Homo-oligomer: A and B are copies of this chain.
Amino acid sequence: MNSEYYEYQLTIDKILDSGSRSFPDREIVYRDIRRYTFRSFANSVKRLANGLRKIGVKRGEKIGVIDWDTDVYMHNYYAIPMIGSVLHTVNIRYPLELIAKTILHAEDKYLIVRDEFMPLIEKAKGIMPVGMKVISYSDSKEKVRSSLDTIDFWELIESNEPLEEETNVNENDMATIFYTSGTTGEPKGVWFNHRKIVLHAISVSLVGARPPLSLTSNDVYMILVPMFHVHAWGYPYVALMAGVKYVLPGKYDYSFILSLMDKEGVTYSAMVPTILYLLLTNPDAPRYLHVFKRWKVTIGGSALPEGLAKKAKELGITVIGGYGLSETCPVLSVGYYNSAIERLDDNTKFMAQITAGAPIPLVQIKIVDPATGKEKETGKIGEIVVRAPWLTQEYYKDPEKTKALWKGGWLHTGDLAYMDQYGYIHIVDREKDAIKSGGEFIPSLLLENAISLHPKVSQVAVVGIKDEKWGERPAAFIVPKEQVSEEEIRQFLLKLADEGKIQKWWIPDRFIFISSMPLTSTNKIDKKVLRDMTQTK
């Protein structure tokens, strides 16, 4: 072996290098506050990397970030892993004690905090890791006043030259860590190395070019997945890999988001269904119909209700579904057109594109019997198990939970689904949300989908409630668009049952009308809260 051969590592700095060399003039925009070109961004990131090293950050040390979707966060996505330290994207929607718990569990040595979160950190001082240093910043670049001893973030960038030397980071080094609780349970840590993040970014970039999204380097992305949430689905990395303009909305304010989309020419976004719902029902929405017409959207995190998808389509939005977990980096499948459907009629294509999608390049998905592990036939419900180059290796410091995740060389998602004749995945339930009635499963997502088709229904969620006779029976929580009676909904569902679209025995026993859905920290509908509500009513 020749010693001067360069063993190329798939590290995150390569994405920054590749993007900023090929698309030097492409912009990164933070609200109406700051703009960068990829070239100036790369320079700024390298200054920060150097600054972090100067204050003593070492390889393997973890740095928590507490922030909205800002240009500062975007810097941290690159600068922290680039020097071999680890980006901990702290879930700011957790209660304070849980935030402290994740920071302790991750053993963060540093915390980078936006000024408005400083009071929170000051309050939690006593339950944070001993010796942890705080780096703070404000949008105005003025030094943040605090009772704590803090380092100024902007100073790290402005008083340092760009890091040019090679850092010898290995592609198998830990790059990111964050905590996920799903909709129930204690937070579990998942972590990813550089290689996984790079391969995920390149595969997500590649699949974006396929119809119906057909994204190119001329698209403009504004991602509405919080940056603390599963790498914002990888898009801060995809942006530089795909060479697209990237717009950061800061703290989500839906009226402002609509005006920013208009002003910056946004053509593509990704989000959970709730956010799409909130944007489309925003009072300002009617003024942005021209923006919707050019807009392409990927929906993930929860199933895309057919009713919402149709509403979006009517507005001219190209909307597709997608699927993934915190444990899977996250993207596994999206609703691109595969060869089985591309020449079929528009309705068939539409119904396929709003499913959980088909596997993206390099992902292997099987639907198996949860008991035996045997692969299910087309159309039969089973558990989704996966292989991909970017799945978490373990729950951090939790070998017990890891055992349930990785069985027989496949990651077990705990989601129930079937694969249709065209190769698209239809999620019918999270295993833990499943409703078992008279010994048989009622697929709550299919039922929700059916109810969402009623013109007077705005949002719906179905949960199981205890029943003496059947074990469990479904209850439907509905946010109505306008006045609607239980009887109207029931008649509507009976009609769908007559048409063979649902089973008659799935029709919920109870319909509960509420004014808005309780949400989890990642804006998914919180079924745990709904289930609790059925106990007390």
Contact = CB atoms under 8 A, between A and B. Distances in A.
Interface in A349-365: 358-359, 361-364
B22 A423 contact: yes
B206 A22 contact: no
Contact of A22 (B22, B359, B391, B409): B359
A362 B18 contact: yes
Nearest to A333: B22
B8 A361 contact: no
A36 interface: no
A216 B206 contact: no
B205 A216 contact: no
Contacts of A211: 216-218
B342 A218 contact: yes
Contacts of A46: none
Interface in A479-521: none
Nearest to A171: B389
Given A2-B399, A393-B2, A17 B406 contact: no
Interface string A46-76: 0000000000000000000000000000000
A425 to B, nearest CB: 12
A8 B192 CA distance: 14
Contacts of A342: 217-218
Interface stretch (A23-31, A90-98, A283-291, A438-446): A23-31
Interface string A126-147: 0000000000000000000000
B394 A24 contact: no
Given A24-B423, A243-B210, A423-B22, A408 B4 contact: yes
Interface string A156-169: 00000000000000
9 contacts: A1-B394, A5-B406, A8-B362, A14-B364, A18-B363, A22-B338, A205-B361, A209-B216, A210-B243
Which 10 residue pairs are nearest across A and B when measured between Cβ atoms? A209-B209, A23-B339, A6-B409, A25-B339, A8-B389, A4-B406, A26-B339, A2-B402, A5-B406, A22-B338
